[in-house]
Amino acid sequence: MFTLFKSLEAKSNETKSVVAKSVVPDDMTLVQVKVAVLGCMAQESINHHHMGQLYNHVVKKKLAEAAGYKNALEWFSQHLVDLSQASLTTYGKVAEAFSEDVARRFGMSCLSLLLTYEKVAGLEVDREEPGNTVIEVPGANGQVHAKPFSQCSVEEMRRALQGKRTPGSSKPMPPGAVERGEQYHLAVKALFPKVSTVEVQVRNIKGKAVVDFKGIPLEQVDRLTEVLTGELPPLPKVPLLEKLLPQA
């Protein structure tokens, strides 16, 4: 019995030692903090990319339907209730288009916005090296600056999308219009995960934001009420990593 207690005590001390090692050292420098934070951010993107792969696996193999569920999202919503369905579909979309390494470098939110920008701008993005994609970002004064995707933040990507969707408008849309449109986009994509034609676009008509729902099957139009009357999903907040990563 004494040996057992000593064994348990040893394991407890070992656990405390591991916990103690996770505490931030007093002499940690700013450079070390930056590297550590970037590592955490990169790991988060990798985890989200893997979640997207798992979601895509369930969708492609029709595992949820085989188990008696309507679709993959229904299964996830019942068995992983804390997981945002909008985020899950975003992860799946990015994981299908980009590798884990690309997700680690640029972040899931920026890559998701890039895929939308690709459609709106009529571009062809290099899936292996998207960082060189030229993004036209409107400034505060309305002047457009071309810069590589690798140097764009999430906010700049949203402004670039707004600029592409409203090239002829002289008045800016109300604050938050693009973000709200993106929330509708995520909600509709989550509602119709298997319908590739579904799109939600926000247009600027003389400074007034107008939202278009496109490609929704006629027999399922009534399901839009679930989006219009329900709570909109939060926007993923994953910052761009590429310009912050230490240069080799």
What pLDDT, on a 0 to 100 scale, did the predictor assign at position 242?
39
User: Checking DSSP bridges between strand 134-138 and strand 208-214, what pairing results, if any?
Assistant: unpaired
Residue position matching structure tokens 């319908």: 195
Return the closest-CA partner of residue 41 out of 245, 179, 234.
245
pLDDT at 224: 85
Give the pLDDT of residue 4.
45
DSSP structural state of residue 138: E
Annotated domain spans of the chain: 29-229
Task: Report the b/e string of 115-144 with b at 16+ CB within 10 A.
Answer: bbbeeebeeebeeeebbebebebbeeeeee
Give strand ranges (E) for 144-230: 144-148, 199-205, 208-214
Q: pLDDT at position 122, please? A: 86
| Amino acid, res. 65 | E
- Please report the pLDDT score of residue 189 as a whole number: 82
DSSP strand E in the chain: where?
134-138, 144-148, 199-205, 208-214
Query: Tell me, what's the pLDDT at 93?
Result: 93
Contacts of 40 (CB under 8 A, 6+ apart): none
User: What parts of the chain have a pLDDT lower than 70?
Assistant: 1-22, 140-142, 166-173, 196, 206, 236-248
